[in-house]
Amino acid sequence: MITTYKAAPDIDVLTSSFPIPGFGFVPINAFVLHGPEPLLVDTGAVVEREEFMTALRSVIDPADLRWIWLTHTDFDHIGALPQLLDENRHLRIITTFAGVGIMSLSAPLPMNRVHLLNPGQQMVVGDRTLTAFRPPAFDNPSTTGFHDSKSGALFSSDCFGALLSAVPESAADLNSDELREGQIFWATVDAPWLHKVDTAAFARELDGIRAIEPTTILSSHLPAAPGAMLDRLLAALGAVPSAQPFAAPDQAALEQMLAELTAGS
């Protein structure tokens, strides 16, 4: 089920709690930034694309949207993208060269409707200036997040995501230990390369994010987090390189799970 809540007076969150059997829930978020040129950040999961359109219509007429910021091309971010582009001929997509390339393999983006923006570059969208950045953790080379000058919010894509036992509307309502452990677990699954990074260099990356001083952190996979939580979010991420790597269930575990399901039916 996709529900909505406000992260700021002019920012709606569309959120789905996606179950990971045996592990918990991961929120899948998209965001609507209202204003003279309304912007949608990501478009939900492919398996929930119809429901995503219904939820989107509850916060804005999709015909009023002018921009989609595609943080990256994974299946939990591109769900309603083809339909939105079909329905609204004014919509343009902010992405990267890698994003265009990956999309060309499944649902090619019309090149005259693409706006390429690289980390470090800015663009003006209505009354906002958006500054693109590469989050310190990501799972796809097309990834860009951004800082919004108007709200002060930082849109971090998959970075700062967490696996949770339940998904509240504010990260401030999470138990501190659950948040830290859920964040570390998510990062070891989503960005296992973090175990290979130089920790001093990674710490400098995290300092760069701290210097942005966002008012709110809006991750694709965490409830909205007030800026005052940034140090905690960064500290958890900083612990990932030396954390226990994710031990994924193997074939023996799968067969055991299937046997338990059969025995119970």
Those residues whose C-beta lies under 8 Å from the C-beta of residue 259, and which sit 6 or more positions away, are none
- Please, which residue, 128 or 132, has the CB nearer to Fe ion? 132
- Please, which residue, 51 or 139, has the CB nearer to Fe ion? 139
* 3-class secondary-structure state, position 123: strand
Q: Is there binding between residue 74 and Fe ion (CB under 5 A)?
A: yes
Report whether 153 contacts 216 (CB < 8 A). Answer: yes
- How far, in Å, are 12, 215, 248 from residue 205 at the CA level? 29, 19, 28
Beta bridge partners of 164: 25
Number of residues written out for the chain: 265
Which listed range, 90-98, 121-129, 136-144, 147-155, lies at the site for Fe ion (CB under 5 A)?
136-144
Task: Copy the structure tokens of residue 92.
Answer: 């343009």
Report whether 151 contacts 127 (CB < 8 A). Answer: no
Supply the minimum distance, in Å, between the C-beta of residue 15 and Fe ion: 13
- Please, which residue, 17 or 149, has the CB nearer to Fe ion? 17
The 96-125 contact track toward Fe ion, x by CB under 5 A, reads: ------------------------------
- Please, which residue, 47 or 253, has the CB nearer to Fe ion? 47
The 156-195 contact track toward Fe ion, x by CB under 5 A, reads: --x-------------------------------------
In the set 76, 95, 136, 182, which binds Fe ion (CB under 5 A)?
A: 76
Exposed/middle/buried for residue 57 (C-beta within 10 Å: 0-12, 13-18, 19+): exposed
The 207-246 contact track toward Fe ion, x by CB under 5 A, reads: -------------x--------------------------
- In whole angstroms, what is the distance from residue 253 CA to residue 214 CA? 42
- Please, which residue, 48 or 74, has the CB nearer to Fe ion? 74
- In whole angstroms, what is the distance from residue 44 CA to residue 57 CA? 13
In Å, how far from its chain's centre is CA 169?
15
Q: Is there binding between residue 48 and Fe ion (CB under 5 A)?
A: no
In the set 37, 139, 169, 181, which binds Fe ion (CB under 5 A)?
A: 139
Residue at shortest CB range from Fe ion: 74
- Residues in region 141-160 near Fe ion by CB under 5 A: 158
- How far, in Å, are 131, 202, 211 from residue 137 at the CA level? 18, 10, 17
* Interface residue list for Fe ion (CB under 5 A): 74, 76, 139, 158, 220
